[in-house]
């Protein structure tokens, strides 16, 4: 009896720890899209790749927030997937991973198509490796996003105003939504809870970081030079940061931003705009109109996408391009298969339909895809403006693409913290910026 | 007639052969031990190792948010726990009444604790919204007054966190203290009434001496558990506005997953050990004392 019991126990134990007999040729963790069409296109691409290559691809969809967390856990356990793609990677992780040496060099994937890629895309993925102390290509650019302005045109017109009345230059533009549009809309609707500026004010939302970067550009303020050296010690940089922060917080202090904006997570500005509490909102993608795509009247007629106003000096503002990246891990078991998949995925006939499936929420970084008819359809009012912003307006990249340490400032949303100091704790913009600069220097070095 | 006494052989011969009971006992214990090692010992040891780097603590202590978070945690425990337990003590007296409808009320009263945290705390988050939340809309509709910015003003936001914590866990501790009250012999109260004791005197001379040990033990236990209360803060305010309502539990998660600094995240919660370990020792001593008596 004891011998039989020992045998059963041993058999159970070994079954429990035995590894699967059939492992996939490629393991992929992919950010789940907002729209089913986008995921469906990815499913088709994977199926086509499997048919062509004969490789078995095991892929899993994770949400925005889960992808980086799963990757962190996998990296800590020493067992990362072969390939991962996350919407938030470039904002909070890619530069750091490259510096830490956990990413595989993917120059052989990107360089063959480099001539077709936008300069900002190349700049975003050419990152510093702290092990070699050299820059190389450690991420694969897939798409990009920039800040847009969305407006309920119907609410403006119902209040007896016209978008033609909106001033073109910076201070006057912001002031119009607050002092002209908001009182008119409140009177027309009889609702005191209507706000002219749906500005994200929270330290929990990446939207705040996006928007503040635009305000820095408005005041010609750069945190780093082209080599990634910090410029925050320079008086003109401090001055520009102060002006940007004052301009950013003024609408809230004037009562033109929903009070709860200081608590917004990503997506709350979308909800606020769609429920028509705010009738003008900055947002770093076309997710808001895209979510209304099925409601044709709302999409085509009631809401519009606008460009950002010109800088205070009257010159066009530069848009900050956020390049969405896929990464292959240095410790991955199937790096070559991952590279083969990404070469296949990046082909215009595969990536193009996927970006179209995103309803233009993501914009291409490959000129061959930008030249496709979908991006030049004139009957879509939002896409027309979007294409103009990307193709005819100047662009810059995020400072942390150039200095990886600033990614930690992004991740902890020190900019949102500075905003909170002014609007919640009555700090002056000078004091808040001085604290922000001190934190930047503490994290990223002087 | 000679009688030969035979001695029976011993069941254990030279320690090399296990009895069937010992074999079966070991077989049944092995899965538990393995699960305990894998799911308890290993994660704790690994976590301690992850949080052992001095660099993690330097990063943590240099973060301006950290000190504020420690202070928030102290307030959360000092005010929230004591208020909760005091209310539980009062409510347990109310629910100890023999009236049937009060017993039915206690069933409804337990619901906050029984219902999952996510839907309930999110509901509070929406109700407390400054622009379109139910509370402020009711204040405007009924009285024409603008409601407070519940989750916008940092003090109000943190007060809301403490309120939600109390709302969620008060029923459980009320039940615990109610059970303690039910164990007090009724003849003590009868004797006190005969001696002319008022209700307050009955509480002070009969109820409290009988309930004191349970109350203090519950207070310690609640403090230890609440040190790790993540839901009340994360689901209601996310640590905002502007990182003003973080407690150690949420700050640790922020470091680990938002900032991708796992070691610093673990170090954050490890800094609670100077509070946690003495509390645990105190609790174990109290429980040990009760066993002895």
For the segment A5-57, what is each residue's pLDDT rounded down to a tens digit?
A: 555 555 555 544 444 445 789 999 999 998 888 899 999 999 999 999 999 99
The answer on B188 and B44 residing in a single domain is no
Name the domain count of chain B.
Answer: 2
- The two tokens of residue A364 are 């291409």
The shares of helix, strand and coil residues in chain B, as percent rounded to the nearest 5, are 75, 0, 25
B24/A416 CB distance under 8 A: no
Q: Which of A4, A96, A50 is nearest to A401 (CA)?
A: A96
A411/B23 CB distance under 8 A: no
Q: Which of B129, B239, B242 sits opposite A262 (nearest CB)?
A: B242
CATH of the domain at B130: 1.10.3720.10
**Rounded Cα distance, A98 and A104, in Å:** 8
The answer on B108 and B30 residing in a single domain is no
The Cβ of residue A112 has, within 10 Å, a number of other Cβ atoms equal to: 11
pLDDT, position B5: 46
The answer on B148 and B46 residing in a single domain is no
| Structural domain of B229 | 54-292
Beta bridge partners of A145: A322
Mean pLDDT value across residues B220-245:
93
Q: What is the pLDDT of residues A331-356, one digit of tens each?
A: 999 999 999 999 999 999 999 999 99
**B236 located within any domain:** yes
**B272 located within any domain:** yes
Q: Which of B174, B177, B201, B179 is nearest to B188 (CA)?
A: B201
The answer on B179 and B99 residing in a single domain is yes
Q: Which of B237, B242, B256 sits opposite A420 (nearest CB)?
A: B242
CATH architecture type of domain A23-144+322-397: 3-Layer(aba) Sandwich (3.40)
The answer on B141 and B158 residing in a single domain is yes
| pLDDT above 90: residue B230 | yes
The answer on B183 and B40 residing in a single domain is no
A95 three-class SS? helix
Specify whether the CB–CB gap between A318 and A329 falls below 8 A.
no
Q: What does pTM read for this prediction?
A: 0.87
Domain extents in chain A: 23-144+322-397, 148-307+412-444
A93/B131 CB distance under 8 A: no
Specify whether the CB–CB gap between A148 and A284 falls below 8 A.
yes
The answer on B124 and B218 residing in a single domain is yes
Specify whether the CB–CB gap between A415 and B236 falls below 8 A.
no
**B1 located within any domain:** no
**B152 located within any domain:** yes
pLDDT, position B92: 94
A277/B131 CB distance under 8 A: yes
Nearest-Cα residue of chain A relative to residue B63: A439
DSSP string spanning B139-197?
HHHHH--PPP-TTTSHHHHHHHHHHHHHHHHHHHHHHHHHHHHHTS-HHHHHHHHHTT-
Q: What is the ipTM of this complex?
A: 0.81
The answer on B74 and B89 residing in a single domain is yes
A191 three-class SS? coil
Q: Which of A221, A210, A64, A86 is nearest to A148 (CA)?
A: A210
Does domain A148-307+412-444 sit in CATH 3.50.4.10?
no
A399 shares contact with chain B (CB less than 8 Å): no
pLDDT, position B1: 47
A5/B259 CB distance under 8 A: no
**B111 located within any domain:** yes
> Do A23-144+322-397 and A148-307+412-444 agree at the fold level?
yes
């Amino acid at each position: 009896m004891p011998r039989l019991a020992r045998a059963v126990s041993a058999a159970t134990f070994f079954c429990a720890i035995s590894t699967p007999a059939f492992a996939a040729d490629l393991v992929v963790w992919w950010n789940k899209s907002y729209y089913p069409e986008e995921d469906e296109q990815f499913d088709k691409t994977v199926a086509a790749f499997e048919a062509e290559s004969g490789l078995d691809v095991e892929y899993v969809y994770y949400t925005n927030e889960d992808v980086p967390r799963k990757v962190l856990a996998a990296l800590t356990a020493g067992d990362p997937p072969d390939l991962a793609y996350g919407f938030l990677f470039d904002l909070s992780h890619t530069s750091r991973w490259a510096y830490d040496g956990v990413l595989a060099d993917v120059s052989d994937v990107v360089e063959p198509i480099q001539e077709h890629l936008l300069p900002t895309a190349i700049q975003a993925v050419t990152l510093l490796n702290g092990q070699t102390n050299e820059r190389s290509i450690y991420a694969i650019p897939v798409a990009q996003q920039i800040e847009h302005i969305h407006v309920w045109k119907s609410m403006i017109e119902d209040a007896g105003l016209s978008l033609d009345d909106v001033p073109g230059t910076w201070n006057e533009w912001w002031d119009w939504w607050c002092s002209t549009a908001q009182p008119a809309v409140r009177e027309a609707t009889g609702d005191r809870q209507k706000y002219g500026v749906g500005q994200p004010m929270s330290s929990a939302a990446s939207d705040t970081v996006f928007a503040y970067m635009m305000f820095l550009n408005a005041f010609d303020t750069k945190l780093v030079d082209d080599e990634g050296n910090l410029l925050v010690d320079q008086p003109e940089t401090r001055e520009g940061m102060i002006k940007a922060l004052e301009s950013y917080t003024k609408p809230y202090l004037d009562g033109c931003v929903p009070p709860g904006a200081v608590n917004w997570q990503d997506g709350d500005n979308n909800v606020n705009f769609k429920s028509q509490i705010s009738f003008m909102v900055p947002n770093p993608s076309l997710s808001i109109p895209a979510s209304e795509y099925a409601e044709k009247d709302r999409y085509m007629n009631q809401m519009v996408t606008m460009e950002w106003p010109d800088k205070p000096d009257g010159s066009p503002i530069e848009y900050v391009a956020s390049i969405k990246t896929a990464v292959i891990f240095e410790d991955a078991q199937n790096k070559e298969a991952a590279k083969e998949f990404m070469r296949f995925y990046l082909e215009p006939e595969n990536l193009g339909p996927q970006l179209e499936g995103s309803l233009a929420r993501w914009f291409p970084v490959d000129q061959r895809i930008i030249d496709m008819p979908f991006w030049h359809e004139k009957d879509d009012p939002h896409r027309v403006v979007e294409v103009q912003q990307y193709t005819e307006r100047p662009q810059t990249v995020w400072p942390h693409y150039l200095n990886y340490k600033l990614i930690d400032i992004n991740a902890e949303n020190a900019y949102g913290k500075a905003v909170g100091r002014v609007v919640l704790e009555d700090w002056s913009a000078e004091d808040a910026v001085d604290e922000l600069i001190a934190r930047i220097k503490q994290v990223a070095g002087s | 007639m000679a009688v030969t006494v035979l001695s029976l052989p011993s069941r254990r011969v030279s320690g090399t052969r296990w009895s069937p009971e010992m074999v079966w006992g070991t077989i049944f214990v092995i899965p538990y031990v393995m699960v305990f090692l894998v799911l308890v010992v290993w994660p704790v040891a690994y976590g301690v190792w992850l949080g052992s780097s001095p660099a993690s603590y330097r990063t943590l202590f240099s973060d301006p948010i950290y000190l504020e978070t420690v202070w928030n945690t102290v307030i959360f425990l000092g005010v929230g726990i004591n208020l909760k337990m005091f209310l539980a003590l009062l409510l347990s007296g109310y629910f100890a009444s023999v009236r049937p409808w009060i017993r039915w009320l206690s069933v409804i009263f337990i619901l906050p604790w029984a219902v999952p945290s996510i839907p309930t705390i999110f509901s509070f988050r929406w109700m407390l919204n400054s622009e379109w939340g139910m509370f402020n809309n009711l204040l405007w509709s009924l009285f024409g007054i603008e409601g407070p910015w519940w989750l916008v003003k940092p003090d109000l936001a943190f007060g809301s966190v403490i309120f939600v914590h109390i709302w969620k866990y008060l029923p459980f501790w009320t039940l615990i203290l109610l059970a303690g009250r039910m164990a007090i012999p009724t003849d003590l109260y009868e004797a006190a009434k005969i001696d002319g004791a008022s209700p307050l005197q009955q509480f002070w001379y009969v109820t409290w001496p009988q309930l004191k040990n349970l109350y203090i033990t519950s207070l310690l236990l609640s403090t230890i558990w609440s040190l790790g209360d993540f839901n009340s803060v994360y689901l209601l305010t996310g640590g905002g506005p502007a990182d003003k309502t973080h407690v150690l539990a949420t700050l640790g998660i922020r470091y680990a997953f938002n900032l991708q600094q796992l070691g610093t995240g673990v170090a954050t919660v490890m800094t609670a050990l100077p509070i946690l370990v003495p509390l645990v020792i105190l609790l174990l001593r109290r429980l040990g004392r009760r066993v002895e008596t």
